[in-house]
Amino acid sequence: MRGWRVHGPPKRETPEGRGGATLSGKHGGAERTPFFEGAEFCMKCHQHEGSGPAGKPIQNTFREWRESLWGEEGVPCQSCHMPRREHLWRGIHDKDMAQGAVGVEVEVGRAAPGVAAARIVLTNTGAGHHFPTYITPSVDVVAELEDEAGKAIPGTRQAAVIGRRLSEDFAREVSDTRIPAQQSFVMDYRQARPAGAARLRVRVRVKPDHFYHGFFEAYLKGGGLSPQARKLIEEARDNAAKSAFDIYDERFALP
C-alpha cells in the first residue's frame, strides 16, 4: 500500500477487487525451473541467517524442515502448501491445515479420591516443521470441568500455551514450547473434583495472529497517529483477534 492505495491483483472474492487495487493485466510471461519446486525456494523468506535468541533465528522454518523426517525424505514445502501446484499457500490460518498438523489424545483418569485427572497429548504428525513455526501464532490447550448441564465450573480451568515467546526487544527468549515434527506436547490436568462435576472439556485453540494482536495494541497506545491511521490499526487489531479458531473441542465423562 502506498498513499492509501492498494497496488496488486484484485481480491479473489470479487471480479474487480477491493480497495481500488490496480490492475496490470498480463504479468509478462513466466519462467519455469525445478528450483521453484524445492524447499530451497522457500528458504529465502522463511529462514533467517545467523543466530538469534537462545541460539535460534526468529525465522527458522527451513532448518526445522531439514532436520525433520520430511526433510530427510526430501518432501518439500510445496507438497503441503502448494498441493498439485495450486497457489493456495494454506498455513496456520487455515483450520483444515492446522487440524491436519497435530493429533490429540486425551486419557481421563483419577489421580486420587476426589481428584479429577487427565493427560492431554498433542503430537505433531502432519507438519514438516515445528508446530507452530516462528513467533507469530499461539496455540492454547484449555481444560475445565463442567456440570451435568454443560456449564463450566469456576476455578477448574487450566491452560497451557504452545508457542515461542520473545522479550519486547526480541533480544531474549522467554519460552519455547512448540512441538517439533514427530514429537509431542503433554499437559497433565489435576483438579480437586467439586460437587456436581460431571465432565471434562478439552479444547485446542489456534491464534494465528497472536503476536500481531499484541503489537497493534501496543502501537495504539502510542501517540502521533492520524485518525485515518488509527482506524486502520484498530481494524487490523480486531481482525487479528477474530482469526482465532478451535481445532479440537471434546467432552469426557469423569470416572
Cell of 124: 505433531
**Tell me: the pLDDT tens digits for 62-111?**
999 999 999 999 999 999 999 888 888 899 999 999 999 999 999 998 77
Report strand pairing: 102-112 vs 199-207: unpaired
248 in helix, strand or coil? strand
Residue 135 CA: distances (Å) to CA of 70, 101, 162, 177 = 22, 17, 11, 11
Cα(237)–Cα(18) distance, integer angstroms: 20
pLDDT tens digits for range 170-186: 899 999 999 999 999 99
Q: Are 115 and 197 contacting, i.e. CB atoms less than 8 angstroms apart?
A: no
Per-residue pLDDT tens digits for 193-236: 999 999 999 999 999 999 999 999 999 998 889 999 999 999 99
Reduce the DSSP state of residue 137 to 3 states and report it.
Answer: coil
User: Is residue 16 one of the residues assigned to a domain?
Assistant: no
Task: Extract the C-alpha cell encoding 57.
Answer: 533465528
| Residues of the domain holding 166 | 34-253
Calculate what percentage of the chain has a pLDDT beyond 70.
Answer: 89
Count of structural domains, the chain: 1
User: Is 39 inside any structural domain?
Assistant: yes
> How does residue 248 score in pLDDT terms, banded at 50, 70 and 90?
very high
For range 158-181, the mean pLDDT: 95
The residue with cell 467432552 is: 251
Which grid coordinates are listed for 46?
522463511
105 assigned to some structural domain:
yes
* For residue 13, pLDDT beyond 60: no
Asked whether the predicted pLDDT for residue 6 surpasses 90, the reply is no
Cell numbers found for residue 52: 538469534
Q: Is the pLDDT of residue 11 over 80?
A: no
DSSP, residue by residue, 209-223: THHHHHHHHHHHHSS
Average pLDDT, the chain: 90
The CATH number of residue 140's host domain is 2.60.40.3230
pTM of structure: 0.84
Hey, what's the torsion of the CAs at 216, 218, 222, 227, to 10 degrees?
30
Q: How sure is the predictor about 18, in pLDDT bands with cuts at 50, 70 and 90?
A: very low
Predicted confidence at residue 67, as pLDDT, reads: 95
> Mean per-residue pLDDT for 55-62?
94
Collapse the DSSP code of 84 into the 3-class scheme (helix H, G, I; strand E, B; otherwise coil) and give the result.
helix
Domain membership of residue 15 (yes or no) is no
Q: Tell me whether residue 87 is in a domain.
A: yes
The answer to whether residue 22 scores a pLDDT higher than 70 is no
